[in-house]
Structure 1
Amino acid sequence: MTEQADAFDDDRYTEVIHACGHEHVSGEHASTFEVSTDDFLTPAGDCILAIEADRAPAEFDSDFVAACQDATATITMSITAGGSETTITGRGDPRLTFESERSAVGRTSDYVDDRTIMLDADRAAGDVDRELIDALADGADARVVLAVEDGNTEA
C-alpha cells in the first residue's frame, strides 16, 4: 500500500515515496539530487540518493502538481533513512510537468525536463548530510516526503 497525497489545508499538499539505498549511493553531485524507480545503480549515478522508489512523478496527485507549477510555490523534500534526515528546499515553476515514470530530480539550477520536481534547490546530493548518505550506501530504507506550499497564501 502506498501513501497518497494528503491535503493538510488549502495551501499545502504532500507526496510520500518509499525507496531504498544502494551500495553505490555516493551523494557527490554538485547540482542535482534524484530518487529513482530503477532497481540498479552504477557508480556514475552520483546524484541518486535512493532507488526502487514505489512512486514516480507521473503518479502524483493533480492538485499537488498544480501547486508545484506555481512560480511562487515553495517545495521541500525531506528524506529519512537510518535515523538521519535531510530537508531540501526549492521552488515551483509553471514548466514543471511531473511526467516522468522513472525518476524525480531536484535541481539547484532552473533547468527543466520531465523528471524535474523543483528548481533552485538549496542543496544537491553533494550537500546532503554524510550520515544519511552512509545509511543509504548501506542499503537503508528511505522515506521521502515532498511538500508544496502555495506562495500566494498570506500569513
Structure 2
Amino acid sequence: MFEIFARGHENIRATHRTTFEITRDRNLSPRGDCIIAVNADSSVADIPDGLRDLLKRGLKFQIEISLPDYGLYEIVEGYGDERLLLTHPTDIVVRKSSYICPRTLLISANKAARDLNREIVELLKDKKTEVVFRLQPLRVSAEQG
C-alpha cells in the first residue's frame, strides 16, 4: 500500500467527466475542474518500485480517498498498464479512459471527479481538510505473478 497525504482548496470543483487529479501544487485556479486535492506529499514519480511493477503488469488497483477527520471515504478502482511512465514530479491522474501520459496512475477507472461523493467534495473545498489517498492492488495471486 502507498499513502499520499494532501489537502483541500477553496477552488476545488471536481466536475471533470473523465479524470481526477491530485497535485503537489499549493494553488489551484477555478479552471482546474479535475483536481480534488492540493499540497500532496507525493506524485506518481514517488511510487515505490514494488507497486510500480504491479502497476505495469496491468493489475486492478483501488484508491481509497479518506477524510479521517470526518470518517468519510470513497473507493475508486482502475487498472495499471505496461505503458505507464509514472514520471511526473507533481501530479497524479486517474482516468476513465485509456490515455497515458507521465502523470497517469490508473486507467479505465470506475469514477472521475464528478462521480465522487458530493459531501466529500464540499469538505475538500476547505484548505484545512486533510485527505489521505491509499493505493493498493486488488487480489495479487500466485497465477498473476
Q: TM-score, normalised by structure 2?
A: 0.92
2:130 to 112, 116, 141: 141
- The answer for the alignment partner of 1:10 in structure 2 is none
Alpha-carbon spacing, 1:114–1:77, altered in 2? closer, same or farther (3 Å): same
SS at match of 1:63: helix
**What is the CA deviation profile of residues 44-100 of structure 1, one whole-angstrom value per residue up to 9, with x for unaligned ones?**
1111010000011111111110100112x0111111123321111001100112111
Q: How many residue pairs align between the two structures?
A: 141
Gaps of 5+ in 2: none
TM-superposed deviation, 1:149: 3.4
- 1:110 equivalent among 98, 102, 118: 98
Counterpart of 2:3 in structure 1 is 16
Distance 1:151 1:29 in 2: 31
Structure 1 gaps of 5+ residues are: 1-13
- Asked if 1:59 corresponds to 2:46, the answer is yes
Q: Give SS of 1:144's match.
A: strand
Q: Which of residues 82, 85, 108 in structure 2 aligns to 1:120?
A: 108
Aligned residues: percent identity? 30
Deviation at 1:39, TM superposition (A): 0.6
Q: Report the more deviating stretch, 44-53 or 143-152.
A: 143-152
Residue identity in the other structure for 2:73 = E
Task: Say yes or no: does 1:37 pair with 2:56.
Answer: no
1:79 and 2:65 correspond: yes
Q: Partners in 2 of 1:17 and 1:113 — Cα distance?
A: 20
Runs of 4 or more consecutive aligned structure 1 residues displaced over 3 Å after TM superposition: 149-155
Is the Cα–Cα contact under 8 Å of residues 67 and 150 in structure 1 kept in the other structure? no
SS of the residue 1:67 aligns to:
helix
For the aligned residue pairs, the C-alpha RMSD in angstroms reads 1.6
